[in-house]
Amino acid sequence: MSLKGTVTITLEDYHTFIESHEINLEKAEALRATTRELAVFLSYISSRADIKQHIDSFNLQSKTCKIMYGGTRAVIELRKNKDEINVKT
């Protein structure tokens, strides 16, 4: 939803808002990096043992992410939650 208009806030609140935005961007990037590392680990583990049944069970129970396989490569897909961004690695 996009609204047009103006808002007056203090400079202190404005700078707090900017800092919060930067922190959120850093956290989003850290989350992407973590999911990439976990995907590499899952790819490694899946090549060593048959864990498909466990992954399927996890996917049924998890509300925040889903593990998928593309050949021998694991992919962690974050499920879109209310007010969150869907991130794929």
Model pTM? 0.58
Give dist(CA 76, CA 52) in Å, integer: 14
> Mutual orientation of helices 52-61 and 11-48 as an angle, nearest 10°?
150
pLDDT at 68 over 90: no
More confident position, 86 or 27: 27
- Domain ranges within the chain, ordered by starting residue: 11-78
Interval 32-54: pLDDT, tens: 888 888 888 888 887 777 787 88
Interval 50-60: pLDDT, tens: 787 888 888 99
The CA-to-CA distance between both ends of the chain, in Å, stands at: 27
CA nearest neighbour of 76 among 28, 29, 36, 33: 36
